[in-house]
Amino acid sequence: MTINQHISLLRKGTVDCIPEEELRRKLERSQKTGKPLRVKAGFDPTAPDIHLGHTVLIRKMRHFQQLGHTVIFLIGDFTGMIGDPSGRSATRPALTQEQIDENAETYKQQIFKLLDRNRTEIRFNNEWFSTFGADDFVRLAGKATVAQLLEREDFKKRFQSNAPISIHELMYALAQGYDSVALEADVELGGTDQKLNLLMARQIQQAYGVKEPQLIMTTPLLEGLDGVQKMSKSLDNYVGITESPREMFGKLMSISDELMWRYYELLTDMSLSEIAALTEAVTNGEKHPRDLKAELARKIVADFHSAPQAVEASNEFDRMFREHQAPSDIPTIEKPTGAIRLMKLLVAEGLATSVSEAQRLVAQGGVRLNGERVNDVKVEVGASAGEEALIQVGGRKFLRVIFK
């Protein structure tokens, strides 16, 4: 690949590249000297599960790996005890060391679904901060001004509204910046919400005498399944990378046609020209958006599971939604004979979180019993021995209950 092709791959699905001209210079020098770039991305272990939104950044790390560079997956076990204040309206609660260790281990198990294990450095920033003394932290604090830190929009809003800002929160960006000094980072990747932290890292490197500070590249925040808010587990608009192939496939088939193109760009390795060709094929009526959405879902499922499992998930989806058949492997349980309200059964078996939610699902037409839509929240099942109840909640939850 030429340097132009390298740049095209690396810039795909990114927002900022600061300074822009340094990317070419660093790549050319790396090619000339044979010395790979050191590419850093930091993750605070505040949540144990990775979803597709996180993989936008991890996929960019993989692109650097594919071009022969070294990627550093930095787990912020020290900075995780501070908590990233970016976008926060209040101080984050502190995590215990046990929580951090547990979450970090989960991250380590998940990232190699995309990254090459043999070409990835996993580091913890407590490696250097555990040896920091009070004098080291004082020197680090002297590398930026309070005015600079308070220019951040999140701190500015809290300051103006008299919301508390803890001293340790001001130290977060400085500590993250020192990570780049310790790791001798040539490039740092982060989401657009991390831009101020990444810029601070360049300043900290310069303050510690680094002649050529890191280039920073940011990736966009991926919209969730609703196509509006960013993907988030708390908003329940996410696709977890450890979810079953069938669950992942079904969720991805629920996105809008417009959002599909965004996912093609950020969640696959297809080039922009290849994606443009697909867009043109839809416009010309040569391809149907649903078929391309299914192809997208197969690609993503294959990345995190396998190609055969992706095909199986696709076939199962067609059985359920094209042929209107029940899944081939519906979980089956036995219950003692005796009439029970369907609403209570849904809650007892985890198909709804509460009776009120079950009733809401019925009102929305989301519950079927033996293939028929349920309209009465008082309906009962299990009144006679040998009775079977095939329950469907939404498009993907099924349960067969046999009463004995």
* Whole-angstrom distance, CA of residue 7 vs CA of residue 146: 37
Q: What are the CA-CA distances from residue 125 to residues 18, 43, 130, 186, 285 (Å)? A: 24, 10, 8, 17, 53
pLDDT of residue 323: 57
The answer to whether residue 159 sits within a structural domain is yes
DSSP β-bridge partners for residue 124: 75
Q: Are 239 and 252 in contact (CB under 8 A)?
A: yes
Residue that is last in its domain, among 298, 321, 344: 321
DSSP β-bridge partners for residue 397: 393
The answer to whether residue 240 sits within a structural domain is no
The answer to whether residue 337 sits within a structural domain is yes
CATH number, domain with residue 354: 3.10.290.10
CATH number, domain with residue 304: 1.10.240.10
Q: Parallel, antiparallel, or unpaired: how do β-strands 340-341 and 215-219 relate?
A: unpaired
Residue that is last in its domain, among 295, 321, 347: 321
The answer to whether residue 228 sits within a structural domain is no
Q: Residues 178, 213: one domain?
A: yes
pLDDT of residue 21: 92
Q: Residues 397, 352: one domain?
A: yes
Q: What are the CA-CA distances from residue 143 to residues 137, 149, 165, 300, 372 (Å)? A: 10, 11, 20, 43, 67
The answer to whether residue 260 sits within a structural domain is yes
Q: Where are the beta strands (DSSP E) in 92-222?
A: 120-124, 187-191, 215-219
pLDDT of residue 37: 97
Mean pLDDT in order along the chain per 10 residues (404 residues): 93 94 96 96 80 95 96 89 54 69 83 91 93 93 85 77 80 91 96 90 94 95 93 89 91 94 95 94 93 96 95 87 66 87 90 89 87 87 83 83 87
Q: Residues 215, 256: one domain?
A: no
Could you give the angle at the alpha carbon of 58 between the alpha carbons of 279 and 294, nearest 5°? 35
Q: Is 198 exposed, middle or buried (0-12, 13-18, 19+ CB in 10 A)?
A: buried
> Domain limits at 198?
3-219
The answer to whether residue 326 sits within a structural domain is no
> Which pairs from 359-362 meet CB under 8 Å and 24+ separation?
361/393, 361/394
Q: Is 354 exposed, middle or buried (0-12, 13-18, 19+ CB in 10 A)?
A: exposed
Q: Which residues of 108-142 are buried (b: 16+ CB within 10 A; e: fewer)?
A: eebbeebbeeeebebbbbbebbeeeeeeeeeebee
Q: Where are the beta strands (DSSP E) in 168-270?
A: 187-191, 215-219
Q: Residues 207, 134: one domain?
A: yes
Q: Residues 70, 20: one domain?
A: yes
pLDDT of residue 94: 66
Q: Residues 215, 254: one domain?
A: no
Q: Are 184 and 212 in contact (CB under 8 A)?
A: no
How many domains are contained in the chain?
A: 3
* 393: DSSP letter: E
Q: Residues 398, 269: one domain?
A: no
Which phi and psi angles does 14 have, rounded to 5°?
-115, 165
Residue that is last in its domain, among 321, 346, 368: 321
Selection from 78, 62, 34 nearest residue 120 by Cα: 62
Q: Are 322 and 335 in contact (CB under 8 A)?
A: no
pLDDT of residue 259: 96
CATH number, domain with residue 162: 3.40.50.620
- The end-to-end CA distance of the chain, in Å, is 66
The answer to whether residue 204 sits within a structural domain is yes
pLDDT of residue 89: 43
Q: Residues 159, 93: one domain?
A: yes
Q: Residues 195, 277: one domain?
A: no
* Whole-angstrom distance, CA of residue 376 vs CA of residue 363: 9
Q: Are 198 and 216 in contact (CB under 8 A)?
A: yes
Q: Residues 157, 199: one domain?
A: yes
Q: Parallel, antiparallel, or unpaired: how do β-strands 332-335 and 380-381 relate?
A: unpaired
Q: Residues 29, 157: one domain?
A: yes
Selection from 278, 280, 261 nearest residue 223 by Cα: 261
The answer to whether residue 226 sits within a structural domain is no
Q: Residues 109, 158: one domain?
A: yes
